[in-house]
Amino acid sequence: MNSTLKLWTQLGLGTALAGGLLAACGGEAGGEAGAGEAGVAPDTAATAGEGEGGSGAGEGGADAAGGEGEGGVATADAAKDPVAYGIALAVTEAHVVAARDAYAAGNKQAAGEMFAHPVSEVLLDMDPAFTALGVADFKPTLTAASEAALDGKSVAEVTKAYDAIIASLRGAATKAPKSDASQAKVAASVIAEMIERSSTMYRGLPKNDSYEPYLDGYGFAVVAERQFAASGAGIKAENPMLHARITEALALLKRAYPGAARPAKLPTDPGALSGASAKVMLALAG
């Protein structure tokens, strides 16, 4: 319980969640610091000067500004827009993938925080959409993974906690809202968003040697690659040019983010990534 309270206060969530956490543990405060005392912003990208917001594109690729959560997800639209819904799930997955791999690389603190970030950045604001679509609350699975990482559990235990989150995300994906957009278009829109987010994070790295922005970008790149592996055939059949542009962008991202550990020297020109992402967005719009 102590590690849980410490985590939430570090992420600025003590005021919002301490009541529920304390009630669940019989009111034990454990002598931890008060809410907001650590002064750590929940969105590490904000410290990078770039922001994780991404484009927030809906079905038509337009900016869906209103009602976004801290992670730049159009959560207010998620119950009806499969792209907004898919982006919310993808952003969550990107963080937990990055957390798992960071833990395996020995970065326990960063992993613990990364497991927790989607709760504040995405999932709290997704509660109404999940309720409307019949998705059970799975925030506790991220809390459990974060605690396991911060407590220094074995890689196997942290991986098991990660697997539970992924299973919940896959279940949530089956309840995505329907629309007139094809499955390929929806998938491509989500992939394009992950590519853009990863590219955006990378652009800030030359002036920021912090680990977390790199880790964010790494997670977005991995999830983009995963989703393209699952949906690439459909995207190619519907829009060959878009398929080619995504393939090119993912190849660049693979070189830019060789693993969860940040390299001493950035291996890719940020401008090249920005250009590749822009080409994906143009092909998607066209």
**What pLDDT band is residue 73 in, cutting at 50, 70 and 90?**
confident
Average pLDDT over all residues of the chain: 82
pLDDT of 282 > 90? The answer is yes
* pLDDT recorded at residue 25: 35
For residue range 220-233, list pLDDT tens digits in order.
999 999 999 999 99
Instruction: Calculate mean pLDDT across residues 22-45.
Output: 32
Instruction: Calculate mean pLDDT across residues 53-68.
Output: 40
* pLDDT recorded at residue 5: 38
Instruction: Calculate mean pLDDT across residues 37-52.
Output: 35
* pLDDT recorded at residue 226: 98
* pLDDT recorded at residue 36: 32
Residue 227: closest CA among 193, 261, 179: 193
For residue range 152-170, list pLDDT tens digits in order.
999 999 999 999 999 999 9
Residue 103 CB: number of other CB atoms within 10 A? 28
Instruction: Calculate mean pLDDT across residues 70-88.
Output: 90
Instruction: Calculate mean pLDDT across residues 79-105.
Output: 98
**What pLDDT band is residue 112 in, cutting at 50, 70 and 90?**
very high
For residue range 98-109, list pLDDT tens digits in order.
999 999 999 999
Instruction: Calculate mean pLDDT across residues 65-90.
Output: 80
* pLDDT recorded at residue 30: 33
* pLDDT recorded at residue 3: 40
